[in-house]
Chain A
Amino acid sequence: MKRFILSLAALAFLVPATAHAAGDQEVPPEHHWSFNGIFGTYDRAQLLRGLEVYRGVCANCHGLKYVRFRDLEAIGLSEDEVKAIAANYTVEGDVDSFGDPTTREAKPFDAFPSPFPNDEAARASNGGALPIDLSLVAKSRVHGPDYIHALIGLGYEENAEPGPTGLYHNPYMAGGYIAMPPPLFDDAVEYHDGTAATVEQMSTDVSAFLMWAAEPKLEARKAIGLKVILFLLVLTGLFYVCKRKLWANVEH
């Protein structure tokens, strides 16, 4: 009987594992992220550095449309700092009294806008390739943050030149070629905390930031989960003791 259930359970859990098998791209090396594991949390200083990399480098081509400026308060910025960051961006406003469209400074309730007015404009400026929105990239790619880190931090050859098709070789990209030129070079941004901005440092920081952007509730999830599971262990234990007591005098 025990064997029956265990065998079935083992069989059932084997199946989804293979559904994640990746295609013809290299598997990114595993990085030890602060948010891994049961007690993992985001490293606030790292997220702020990652935000600086996003704003200084990625945001030139990539939007972050599901992250609102107000969300940045969760990674340690003050209300005024959030307002100041938002004020650097321009978003569509209401129509004016003549019915013409207007633009305005972004407010904390706005999201990071795409640098291009629409996908067609984005393609036209990038040789036909569409720079994706980065809000969910850490969840929409197999290996998430490891993949981002490997793609922009490890995948490009030194002094990479585009091939004849205009694509760069990058073994971590599906198909092995990517339209994005190498985005990072040493000191591409200047960190507020004085950390040396190496390619490895920046690619790690921005990967962590994008993981936060994709899964902002990760810390609450893990914290609640621990309490729920501890509670359920106690309750299930009590149920088990009750069951043993009740069945003690039943022949079965």
Chain B
Amino acid sequence: MQALLNNGFIRWFDNRLPVLSWTNHHMMEYPAPRNLNYAWNFGSLAGLALVLQIVTGIVLAMHYTPHADMAFDSVERIMRDVNYGWLLRYMHANGASFFFIVVYLHIARGLYYGSYKAPREVLWWLGLVILLLMMATAFMGYVLPWGQMSFWGATVITNLFSAIPLIGEPIVQWLWGGFAVGNATLNRFFSLHFLLPFVIVGVVVLHLWALHHKKSNNPLGIDYKGPQDFIPFHPYYTIKDAFGAGVFLILFAIFLFYAPNYMGHPDNYIPADPLVTPAHIVPEWYFLPFYAILRAIPDKLGGVLAMGASIFILFLLPWLDTSRIRSATFRPVFKWFFWLLMIDLVVLGFCGANPPEGFWVPLSQVATVYYFLHFLILLPLIGWFERPRPLPDSIAKPVLKA
């Protein structure tokens, strides 16, 4: 990069529009903590997944028809007639799942290492905004093939808004553009599904801005003391991210080429039928824990509020966690409760995947209660009563000693 800037023309250009020095500053010289572990790979992987989704999505939009009578046929045409259409569609469908996998792991890393704590609260908020935008985008994208799960998923999720007192019904009709999910709904979902990923890109830029302003958290969770704590991002983390991307792409390719429908639902290969609901509606796997919380509350408005609260509570996390120690490495009690929360989320996932009958109902209620208990009661208490293990003096010191 420095060699490039010695070139006269490039220096002249960079002086007028500093793209090169900007890139140099943010992607090469950017000082990163020298002790980041592989859990810090998921951010760049999420970026890679976002780019893959946008590129395959734009290409699919060249062949897809957003009309209730033609959408399903146009998707089948992509699968059968368009050159490499099957590859592009399976990439997009499985790419959505992989996007959520890496984003959930990215969030779990943040929870474990306390990345949401001061001074990174805004960074954390922006990440949650990205998550909400991703959920909206994924939901509307799932509607587009116009299969049975698309149609009934859209019906169920849009009906959540009807729980709002008084104005619920008009809002739902406004969302639908009619009296049920129909062609108007499909059309607007296509438009928004195309738009939102670019909004996500915008928020990602803010997310990175906030990150580079306050610098990365690290596995020790301690503040940096000086330049000896850092190494330049390039080449050390670019190559580490490249290796991570390779592993990610191998796992992605295994699903894409050998189990492309594993994370989908067979019912979505049946064209949408407004008169017949499939026997067992489930959302995509990445919504299952939230879906379980929705169903755990035996009240329409209550369920919707609980589901919304389960995400919005995360915005308050920097203040609900009263401990000043960031990393779970030095928090013996918190560490246990972190894993309990992860198990709780998996239990909720199973509850969401199974029909709301038998023991699944009380189980999902217990798991829902525990979810809120963790954030509202346990976290503040652990922060007050826990005796953290002694922190190292600096990032560089334990590293250099070892």
Contacts and interface: CB of A to CB of B under 8 A. Distances in A.
Direct contact of A and B (CB under 8 A): yes
A246 B239 contact: yes
A217 interface: yes
Nearest to B37: A1
B250 A232 contact: yes
A23 B90 CA distance: 27
User: In the complex, which range does the number of interface residues on chain A fall in?
Assistant: 35 or more
A12 B255 CA distance: 14
Nearest to B239: A243
Contacts of A1: 37-39, 219
Interface stretch (A13-21, A53-61, A89-97): A13-21
Contacts of A250: 34, 231, 236
A252 B34 contact: yes
Contacts of B270: 136, 140
Nearest to A2: B38
A174 B25 CA distance: 61
Contact of A225 (B79, B253, B343): B253
A235 interface: yes
A222 B80 contact: no
B178 interface: no
Interface in B281-307: 282, 285, 288
Interface string A1-38: 10011011101101110110101000000000000001
Interface stretch (B119-127, B310-318, B349-357): B349-357
Contact of B34 (A71, A239, A251): A251
A233 interface: yes
A19 B342 contact: no
A29 B92 CA distance: 32
B247 A236 contact: yes
A221 interface: yes
B269 A139 contact: yes
Nearest to B85: A217
A90 to B, nearest CB: 21
Contacts of A16: 97, 262-263, 285, 353
B87 A221 contact: yes
Interface in B219-271: 219, 231, 235-236, 239-240, 242-243, 246-247, 249-250, 253-254, 256-258, 260-263, 265-270
Interface stretch (B5-13, B100-108, B166-174, B194-202): B100-108
A45 interface: no
B76 interface: yes
A8 B342 contact: yes
Contacts of B399: 251-252
A234 B97 CA distance: 25
Interface string A213-229: 01011001110111011
Interface in A177-218: 214, 216-217
Nearest to A235: B246
Interface string A122-154: 000000000000011001111010000000000
Nearest to A237: B246
Given A16-B262, A236-B247, A250-B34, A4 B39 contact: yes
A241 B86 CA distance: 34
Contact of A15 (B39, B112, B246, B288): B288
30 contacts: A1-B37, A1-B219, A5-B38, A5-B39, A8-B108, A12-B104, A12-B105, A14-B346, A15-B346, A16-B285, A18-B349, A18-B353, A19-B285, A23-B279, A66-B73, A136-B76, A141-B266, A217-B79, A221-B257, A225-B253, A225-B257, A228-B257, A236-B243, A236-B246, A242-B242, A242-B243, A243-B239, A246-B239, A250-B34, A251-B400
Interface of A: 1, 4-5, 7-9, 11-12, 14-16, 18-19, 21, 23, 38, 66, 71, 135-136, 139-142, 144, 174, 214, 216-217, 220-222, 224-226, 228-229, 232-233, 235-236, 239-240, 242-243, 246-247, 250-252
**A-B interface, 7 closest residue pairs, ranked by CB to CB distance from nearest:** A225-B257, A236-B246, A140-B269, A15-B349, A16-B285, A239-B243, A18-B353
Given A140-B267, A174-B279, A226-B257, 5 more contacts: A5-B39, A224-B257, A228-B257, A243-B240, A251-B400
